[in-house]
Amino acid sequence: MAPHALQDPHDSTGYTPSLVNYAKLLPHVRVHSKLKVSAPIRAVLTSNDALDELTAEESKSPYFRYLSLEDIRDVEASVNHFQSLKLPLHAISQETFPVSESLRAKLKDVIRAVYGEHQFLIISGLDTSQYNDVENVIIHAGLSSHVGSKRGMPGREGGDNTVLNNGDIVSLFTISASESGGSFYLADSTAVYKELKALKPKLARALVDDWTMVSPSASKDCDVRPIAFPQHESGHVLINCSRARITGTPCAPRPVSLPALTKTQRQAIDALHMLAMSRAIEIQLQPGDMIFFNNLTLMHARDAFVDNGAEGQKRHLLRLILRNEEAAYELPRQLAETWEALYEHDVEEEKFPVKKELFTWACSH
């Protein structure tokens, strides 16, 4: 799902979905019919009344958990504790970044949400401008360690380290926002697949067949596997799909050494994309928002964005790819090799982007 690709009318690779073909395939489905979820402007909490208001607001939103003043003080104490240990950043863990019972309860809510009805949750309330770059990295990695103890490392074997399509849980921590654009989208893979199966069963079947796609690893040319796994996890359809690795992009076309996509495959990938956009929730992440989402049961994308460096409006998100061994779904065997390359490494290999970089394994999206 890549809605920003819709803005490129000159793409001849197939990466840009065809609106004409979409209208023929699924004429009754509206593109970009979505619910907006954006964090309310957080008032400065200086009284118990304000805290009561925050609690009332939280009860109305199943998508957010708001940090109280006490929670924020606990986070800052955990940062100070970790820094006092004089350890490298890869040593951040539940043990080296201990949290209070109140904060631990909110992080357990994240785990329940990621594997529950909504499949994502946003922790909100931190003021990232109050912390330096290292402290923001520690906060993100520290809180995330209580959601998923394993951190993934895409690109460790020389492959693409910018792609979020692999991994169990993705977390993004908004340090600063762009001047405009950059909305984040999530769509329920199960709902999308079931709708496609009802409307175009042939295209739904195609997603379960083998596809030849560019491998995320530099050690081999391609992967051959399905995109959708409808019978694997009870109650869910797991989808693992990177449009760029299937169609190629204007900057990196699909290699001619790979078999050409069939007409049915192109229709299927377009229909999957468009139905996902029709069902997507649009999320306008604000500075201090930390989102966690299930990367196997939700499809994700973002809009293009415009920065204004002169005004300090420059998009900067930290990224982590996590795995919770206790709550994790059983993985389809076709994804096992990719997941092993992602998660099985020595923690000493992990690198954290303290400086603002466009693409690193834990950074911007």
And the tokens for 233? 């996890």
- The verdict on residue 25 lying in a domain is yes
- The verdict on residue 244 lying in a domain is yes
Q: Which residue has the higher pLDDT, 43 or 109?
A: 109
- The verdict on residue 158 lying in a domain is no
- What pLDDT, on a 0 to 100 scale, did the predictor assign at position 353? 81
Displacement of CA 153 from its chain's centroid (Å):
14
- The verdict on residue 168 lying in a domain is no
Per-residue burial over 182-207, b if 16 or more Cβ lie within 10 Å, else e, is bbbbbbbbbebbebbbeebeebbebb
The answer on pLDDT for 73 being more than 80 is yes
Tell me the pLDDT tens digit for each residue of 187-234: 999 999 999 999 999 999 999 999 999 887 777 889 999 999 998 777
Distances (CA, A) of 7 to 71, 245, 306: 41, 19, 14
The answer on pLDDT for 297 being more than 70 is yes
- The verdict on residue 102 lying in a domain is no
- What pLDDT, on a 0 to 100 scale, did the predictor assign at position 100? 96
- What pLDDT, on a 0 to 100 scale, did the predictor assign at position 354? 83
- The verdict on residue 117 lying in a domain is no
- What pLDDT, on a 0 to 100 scale, did the predictor assign at position 129? 93
- The verdict on residue 291 lying in a domain is no
Question: If you average pLDDT over every residue of the chain, what do you get?
Answer: 83
Number of domains in the chain: 1
Tell me the pLDDT tens digit for each residue of 30-64: 655 455 665 554 443 344 455 455 555 555 578 89
pLDDT tier at 117 (50, 70, 90 boundaries)? confident
Residue where the block lists tokens 């009561």 = 52
Domain of residue 246, residue span: 3-34+187-278
Burial degree of 141 (CB within 10 A; 0-12, 13-18, 19+): buried
- What pLDDT, on a 0 to 100 scale, did the predictor assign at position 19? 65
Tell me the pLDDT tens digit for each residue of 140-185: 999 999 999 899 987 654 344 444 589 999 999 999 887 777 788 9
Q: Measured in Å, how far apart are the chain's first and last C-alpha atoms?
A: 14
- What pLDDT, on a 0 to 100 scale, did the predictor assign at position 156? 55
- The verdict on residue 218 lying in a domain is yes
- What pLDDT, on a 0 to 100 scale, did the predictor assign at position 5? 41
Percent of the chain at pLDDT exceeding 70: 78
Tell me the pLDDT tens digit for each residue of 231-252: 877 789 999 988 889 998 888 8
Residue where the block lists tokens 């019919």 = 33
For the entire predicted model, the pTM comes to: 0.87
